[in-house]
């Protein structure tokens, strides 16, 4: 029987880096000490399974392309490379508990959505984006284990920004409420604020309503 260690470092990292849209600076990266634990075979969700690196690469590309540090052709080349890596990436074989497959599915749907939006920022309503949102919503709706819910903030954020259909928005808003009520997660409000602001922009017909890095 595996010991359940809940470590939300991935969420802390995402909040401090991606939500506040700071530059990735290799000198002041938080370096969570996950190596010691990886030897014992413990899965720290997101930290030693490849997800953290994938998120950092996508975020770095997003940030650099929006702040003019890379041109369009470099953006496309890099995005295609990350896309291929994400398409072949697999969750660890030995998962620490139930509902991890759905949790990983929600992340891959969200990360594909994010990459797609970096490449096609005006194409949020595309069938391709909306079917990825649908897939992510389905995966998230299967997750009921309380300890896993805080991890859903990241896919909820990305898939929330890409949501245009009422049923998706209602689901995402409801799940944010649920996490706020049932976990000790302080970050919900900041995630919700950005997502709801994007919905207002989308409803007003503003282009790139999903974009939170200006």
Ligand X SMILES: *[C@@H]1O[C@H](CO)[C@@H](O)[C@H](O)[C@H]1NC(C)=O
Q: Which stretch binds ligand X (CB under 6 A): 50-58, 71-79, 130-138, 169-177?
A: 71-79
As measured in angstroms, the least distance from the Cβ of 73 to ligand X is 5
Residue among 26, 28, 72, 90 that touches ligand X (CB under 6 A): 72
| Closest by CA position to 41, among listed 88, 91, 96, 90 | 96
| Closest by CA position to 139, among listed 67, 91, 70 | 91
> Does the protein bind ligand X through residue 74 (CB under 6 A)?
yes
Crossing angle of helices 100-119 and 153-161, in 10° steps, is 40
| Closest by CA position to 106, among listed 139, 61, 81 | 139
Nearer to ligand X (CB atom), residue 51 or residue 129: 129
As measured in angstroms, the least distance from the Cβ of 157 to ligand X is 21
As measured in angstroms, the least distance from the Cβ of 45 to ligand X is 32
Whole-number Å distance between alpha carbons of 15 and 9: 10
Residues in the chain, total: 214
| Closest by CA position to 15, among listed 197, 182, 194, 205 | 194
> Does the protein bind ligand X through residue 76 (CB under 6 A)?
no
As measured in angstroms, the least distance from the Cβ of 78 to ligand X is 10
What's the distance, Cα to Cα, between the start and end of the chain in Å?
47
In eight-state DSSP terms, residue 211 is: -
Residue 141 · residue 118 · CB < 8 Å? no
Residue among 16, 38, 67, 71 that touches ligand X (CB under 6 A): 71
As measured in angstroms, the least distance from the Cβ of 154 to ligand X is 23
As measured in angstroms, the least distance from the Cβ of 124 to ligand X is 13
With CB under 6 A, what is the number of residues at the site for ligand X? 5
Nearer to ligand X (CB atom), residue 57 or residue 168: 57
Cβ-defined contacts of 85-89 (< 8 Å, 24+): 85/54, 86/54, 86/111, 86/112, 86/115, 89/50, 89/54
Q: Which stretch binds ligand X (CB under 6 A): 33-41, 42-50, 68-76, 80-88?
A: 68-76
Convert residues 108-147 into a mask of x (bound to ligand X by CB under 6 A) and - (unbound). Answer: -------------x--------------------------
Nearer to ligand X (CB atom), residue 96 or residue 121: 121
Note the residues at the interface with ligand X (CB under 6 A). 71-74, 121
């Amino acid at each position: 029987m595996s010991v359940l260690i809940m470590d939300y470092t991935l969420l802390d990292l995402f909040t401090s880096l991606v939500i506040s849209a700071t530059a990735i600076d290799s000198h002041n990266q938080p370096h969570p000490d996950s190596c010691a634990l990886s030897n014992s075979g413990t899965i720290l969700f997101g930290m030693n399974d490849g997800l953290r690196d994938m998120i950092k690469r996508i975020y770095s590309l997003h940030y650099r392309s929006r702040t003019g540090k890379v041109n369009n052709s470099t953006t496309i080349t890099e995005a295609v490379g990350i896309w291929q890596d994400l398409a072949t990436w697999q969750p660890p074989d030995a998962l620490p508990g139930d509902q991890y497959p759905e949790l990983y599915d929600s992340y891959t749907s969200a990360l594909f959505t994010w990459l797609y939006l970096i490449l096609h920022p005006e194409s949020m309503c595309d069938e391709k984006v909306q079917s990825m949102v649908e897939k992510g919503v389905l995966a998230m709706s299967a997750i009921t284990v309380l300890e896993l819910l805080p991890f859903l903030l990241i896919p909820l954020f990305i898939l929330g920004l890409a949501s245009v259909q009422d049923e998706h928005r209602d689901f995402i808003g409801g799940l944010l409420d649920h996490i706020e009520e049932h976990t000790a997660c302080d970050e919900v409000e900041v995630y919700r604020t950005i997502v709801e602001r994007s919905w207002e922009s989308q409803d007003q017909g503003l282009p790139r309503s999903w974009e939170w890095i200006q």
